Amino acid sequence: MNDELLKQGRESYSWARHNMPAVLLAESAVKKKKRLPFKGLLLAASLHVSKETAVLLCALKNLGLSIKLAAANPLSSQSDIVAYLNSEGIEVNAKREESISEYNAALRHLARSEPDLIVDDGGQLHVEYWKSKVDSCFGGTDETTSGTHRLRALDARGELKYPVIVVNEAKTKYLFDNRYGTGQSSIDGVLRATDALLAGKVVVVAGYGWVGKGVAMRARGFGSRVIVTEVSPLRATEAYLDGYDVMPMQRASSLGDIFLTCTGQTDAISKEHFLKMKNGAVVGNCGHFDTEINVRQLVALSSSIELVRANLERYNIGKSKAIYLLCQGRVVNLVAGEGHPPEIMQFSFANQLLCLDYLVSNRSEIARGKIKLLSVPEQIDDLVSEFALRCFRLDIDKLSAKQKKYGWSFIR
């Protein structure tokens, strides 16, 4: 069984690696400057234990890092990847379907292992490290909007002690990853969990940030009618002009066939909405944390709960109504699907790798700086853009000398 898992993990890793040349380009770019720039350093990483993560971590290991990994979500770890990473000498503190306490214990363990660097997806590991009062870390990164919120809160209290690069705000991250990656993989997750026909269905997308835009676009691409709910007037107007119905969740509740939360918020769907939903409504979450759907309130409303198929539970409310919950409210694309396709993930992870190199290379300078939450340096963002052209084999125009001067010419 373990041999089988390991073999499967190796295949899975190889397939992802084949589809993530940008990570390898980043690894090469760093190696060109110095063969083992990370030698002697320990990285604590809280990431989704997926084939794509394995590609990043193996590239970092090749550059000399020691690595300890915990899951970024208690339900999303792939057993075969756990096996493979262990065989590669990376310490994995995660397993398929762990309990919340196991998940938290793993984060605590990592925080206390005195890491030099922290890579996080959601900010939970940064928060655990802060709670642990350890003082070993000199720099970190975070992958998501959700994590950025948490880090900003810490920073505002003056309690963020080391610089963290907010990878989510790289253009080559949020423009690609959230729309195309989460968009496709969330719908993919819904299909795997439900086998539902999307054509004709009313899909309610809560939140029209980059993730919501991607999910709405792909739901429409499969023939669904999309309703968007928002709290921002600007984004609501954008959704309207993009041709979607826009209304408050309270009104959408009675119209939707499938609900997908993309808010980065808590309680995007709660009791008052469950009460108005149609019999047979399907509810799922595409955001990082499982707080977007108030599952506790759904449980309280239900007389019984049954597992219908993997990742699909039926909550029976009263005599004639059932609501179907996807993945217990955890992020649909990673729990029911495989997360972002590797071809998208490669750019976020190329950013991650180059940012770690930047933190190490500029350690003393950065340490002196007062600003703790850093943007991805523009040259890294630009380099990853160039990688994207190479990965997708795109050939584009260059500005001519005349064009470079244009704009100035008018005032001469």
Residues 348-367 that bind its own copies (CB under 8 A): none
The set of residues, in sequence order, having a beta carbon less than 8 Å from that of 257 and lying 6+ positions away, is 201, 202, 203, 278, 280, 281, 282
Q: Would you count residue 223 as binding its own copies (CB under 8 A)?
A: yes
Indicate the burial class of 396 (C-beta count within 10 angstroms; 0-12, 13-18, 19 or more): exposed
Count CB-CB contacts under 10 A for residue 366. Answer: 19
Tell me the residue length of the chain.
Answer: 412
d(C-alpha 286, C-alpha 335), whole Å: 10
Q: Would you count residue 140 as binding its own copies (CB under 8 A)?
A: no
Q: Would you count residue 373 as binding its own copies (CB under 8 A)?
A: no
**Residue of 89, 248, 318, 369 that binds its own copies (CB under 8 A):** 248
Q: Would you count residue 240 as binding its own copies (CB under 8 A)?
A: yes
**Mutual angle of helices 2-18 and 79-87, in 10-degree steps:** 90
Q: How far is the CB of 238 from its own copies (least distance, A)?
A: 6
Q: Would you count residue 307 as binding its own copies (CB under 8 A)?
A: yes
Q: Would you count residue 343 as binding its own copies (CB under 8 A)?
A: yes
Asked if residues 355 and 383 have their Cβ atoms less than 8 Å apart, the reply is: no
Residue closer to its own copies by CB (options 96, 222) is 222
Return the amino acid letter for 46: S
**Residue of 212, 284, 287, 342 that binds its own copies (CB under 8 A):** 342
Q: Which residues of 70-95 are buried (b: 16+ CB within 10 A; e: fewer)?
A: bbbbbbbbbbbbbbbbeebebbbbbb
Residue closer to its own copies by CB (options 40, 241) is 241
Q: Would you count residue 209 as binding its own copies (CB under 8 A)?
A: no
Q: How far is the CB of 86 from its own copies (least distance, A)?
A: 20
**Residue of 5, 231, 275, 373 that binds its own copies (CB under 8 A):** 231
**Residue of 26, 111, 154, 331 that binds its own copies (CB under 8 A):** 154
Structure tokens at 70: 């915990």
Question: Stretches 28-36, 66-74, 134-142, 246-254: which one binds its own copies (CB under 8 A)?
Answer: 246-254
Query: Judged by CB under 8 A, how many residues of this single chain contact its own copies?
Result: 97
- Beta bridge mates, 309: 312
Which residue shows structure tokens 């939903």? 277
Site for its own copies in 28-87 (CB under 8 A): none
Indicate the burial class of 123 (C-beta count within 10 angstroms; 0-12, 13-18, 19 or more): buried
Q: Would you count residue 158 as binding its own copies (CB under 8 A)?
A: no
Taking CB under 8 A as the rule, which mask of x and - marks residues 388-407 in contact with its own copies? xx--x-xxxxxxx-xx--xx
Residue closer to its own copies by CB (options 34, 314) is 314
Question: Stretches 103-111, 308-316, 327-335, 366-374: which one binds its own copies (CB under 8 A)?
Answer: 308-316
The set of residues, in sequence order, having a beta carbon less than 8 Å from that of 37 and lying 6+ positions away, is 30, 31, 63, 64, 357, 360, 361
Site for its own copies in 178-197 (CB under 8 A): 179-181, 184, 188, 191-192, 195-197
- Beta bridge mates, 41: none
Q: Would you count residue 311 as binding its own copies (CB under 8 A)?
A: no
Count CB-CB contacts under 10 A for residue 403. Answer: 10
d(C-alpha 200, C-alpha 226), whole Å: 10
Residue closer to its own copies by CB (options 27, 257) is 257
Residue closer to its own copies by CB (options 25, 360) is 25
